Amino acid sequence: MKKNVVTKLAEAPPSALDKTIEAAEHATARIAGGSALKKTRDYWHTLGPGLTTGASDDDPSGIATYSQTGAQYGFQLLWLAAFTLPLMAIVQEMCARIGVVTGRGLAGNIRTRFSRKMLYTCTLLLFAANAFNIGADLGAMAQGARLLNPNLSQGWLIVGFAIVSLVMQIYMPYVRYAKYLKWLAMVLFAYVFSALLAHLDWADVLKHSIIPTIVFSKDQALLICAILGTTISPYLFFWQTSQEVEEQILQGKTSIASRRGSSKEGIRKMRVDVWSGMTLSNLIMFFIIAACGAILFAHGVTNIATAAQAAEALRPFAGDATYFLFAIGIIGTGMLAIPVLAGSSSYALAESFLWKEGLYRKFKQAHAFYGVIIISMLVGLGMNFIGLDPIKALIYSAVGNGLVAPIILFVIVKLSSDKKVMGEWVNKKLTTMTGWVITTIMAISGVAAIVSLFQ
């Protein structure tokens, strides 16, 4: 039987993009003759799951949330970028440590330590929330592409982006796929450049970055809840933990027994990776809020619902360069976030039901695992063709995340604080205390967001 086109694509020799990436890495290696440059190269090679997890947090729906924050309140809520960074990083570090030390994904650890009812509730809510988010992100990516070329068809773009994402996840070898995700994270710097082009008043920016200001209104409370839900999202927990396991498998540790435990150097590298990824994520949040605050808020454009709308609103005041950078960023962040959303659902369900799982496996070795990815994509795809408003899709996603995030955070803190599970890498007391504070904040935030949405 003749091989189909997709299989040929997967088995084809390295593409031009592969060669470009390899050339960039070789060039970096050649340049890194001095100690400083060598450290930079070594630092880049240390980055992996933490970088892509943090970068995927800035998906098109997140960009819309940050754009609305800047447009509606100017620089007033810039302090949230610094405030949420340690919260986000501590949670993701606990997730990464669980994966590194136990050799299992998060759902696998929940299955062995908690009730099946809790496990199935978490994974099914996660699947539903992620599917809605995928649908919204696919629609936003199509809108972003149409900003670059209005003659393109919205429907065909949505289908095209979904197919490209599926092909990458299912047929591309994990080593190559992980490398693409890592380099794709660099597209986030489009938002840094767009903010720099906005000619910010840096004294005013610095003041609002350090000094918290808040207006006790329903709209601002809902927006703060949305930012918390966007930065500390359940899908990131599952993805981070499972990617740490995938990295160990790439090193030849194919059994759970061989993956258990870690070294000081392994934990150190994991922490550098996680904190780097979360810092990048919040840095981008900072610059998007700053750009929209400096341009849109200053010109009275205060109602932004989507990332594409933010780009269009910026164009008359900031020019074509900022407009195109925003549009490119929407497409790039979507290509990064959608595989993470679909993949996290798949890891969670596969570990819950003891299916063979892992992106390192071929499709024929893990039909159920890849089946979940396909179904997640089809649900998200279908949402764009049944007339469901993308804003409502994000609301439903936010409700789902608000319900499941505190439950999963409770589990994460319990697991990472359990010496029987973590051994010598158990949480320090301060980390555990901070974890419970974060869980409480997210529980209050989730309840507040859900109540506000249905009032």
Residue 84 maps to a domain: yes
* pLDDT value of position 6: 42
* pLDDT value of position 369: 93
- In DSSP notation, 114-143 reads S-HHHHHHHHHHHHHHHHHHHHHHHHHHHH
Domain that holds residue 438: 57-453
Q: In one letter, which amino acid is 153?
A: S
Residue 372's pLDDT band (cuts 50, 70, 90): very high
Question: Which is more confident, 15 or 78?
Answer: 78
- The answer on pLDDT for 18 being more than 70 is no
CATH number, residue 327? 1.20.1740
Residue 1's pLDDT band (cuts 50, 70, 90): very low
Residue 148 maps to a domain: yes
Residue 225's pLDDT band (cuts 50, 70, 90): confident
Residue 15 maps to a domain: no
CA–chain centroid gap for 114, Å, is 26
- Is the overall model pTM greater than 0.75, yes or no? yes
Q: How many domains does the chain have?
A: 1
Least confident of 185-199, 255-269, 282-296: 185-199
Residue 28 maps to a domain: no
pLDDT in tens, 321-345: 777 888 888 888 888 889 889 999 9
* pLDDT value of position 16: 55
Q: Which residue has the tokens 């320090």?
A: 428
Residue 29's pLDDT band (cuts 50, 70, 90): low
Residue 9's pLDDT band (cuts 50, 70, 90): very low
Residue 24 maps to a domain: no
Closest CA to 54 of 229, 240, 332: 240
Residue 12 maps to a domain: no
Residue 234 maps to a domain: yes
* pLDDT value of position 2: 39
Residue 157's pLDDT band (cuts 50, 70, 90): very high
Question: Which is more confident, 258 or 427?
Answer: 427
Helices of type H across 188-305: 189-196, 202-210, 218-231, 234-250, 256-259, 264-295
Separation between Cα atoms, residue 128 and residue 397, nearest integer Å: 8
Residue 33 maps to a domain: no
* pLDDT value of position 90: 94
Q: What mean pLDDT do residues 128-143 have?
A: 88
